[in-house]
Amino acid sequence: MTIAVDRRWLALYFLLTTVVVGLYLLIFAGQPILPLSRDEANACFEILIPVLVGQVAVIFQWIALANVNDDENLKPSPIPSWAITLPPALALFVILAGAAALVMSNSLSNNSSFGPEGFKTTITFAVSILNASTVVLVARLFPSVKQSL
């Protein structure tokens, strides 16, 4: 992958994930598809969304200031593609698995102990995955660009 492809992938991933997960937490709280109270869903939102929005802001700041014709965009990425795509994909998988476990634990036929606290812990784990990996990747692939005014 080239640096430009890496940047595009991360930008699309964080934008789409932020919107989809944010809407899921905001719209479906208290529904069978997200059996959390409004307060519990808001707590999850407050844990996850600031991290995602922060990364979207850094990426979009770079995109706004970058020169598209820069030769750096065509260079091979210094980071293996699996190290770029796997951590955010795994964080999304953790969130989806936590949501599925929450929905299944809420069904009448299941006596699972996974509940709202377990889901919040899952969200915290996903944020930890993102902090440990993609924050470093964003800093490496989206260096600050000095703009002369």
Q: Is residue 149 part of a domain?
A: no
Q: Is residue 148 part of a domain?
A: no
Position with higher pLDDT, 82 vs 148 = 82
Q: Is residue 23 part of a domain?
A: yes
Q: Is residue 147 part of a domain?
A: no
Q: Please give the pLDDT value at position 45.
A: 92
Half-sphere exposure of 64 (CA within 13 A, CB side): 8
Per-residue pLDDT band for 99 (boundaries 50, 70, 90) equals confident
Q: Is residue 25 part of a domain?
A: yes
Q: Is residue 93 part of a domain?
A: yes
Is residue 59 within 8 A of residue 51, CB to CB? The reply is: no
Domain of residue 46 covers 3-141
Give the separation between CA 132 and CA 124, rounded to whole angstroms.
Answer: 12
Q: Is residue 104 part of a domain?
A: yes
Which residues are registered as beta bridge partners of 34?
31
Q: How many domains does the chain have?
A: 1
Q: Is residue 146 part of a domain?
A: no
Q: Helix (H, G, I), strand (E, B), or coil: what is residue 120?
A: helix
Task: Kindly report the number of other CB atoms within 10 A of residue 63's CB atom.
Answer: 14
Q: What is the pLDDT of residues 6-59, one digit of tens each?
A: 888 888 888 998 999 899 999 998 888 888 899 999 998 998 899 889 888 888
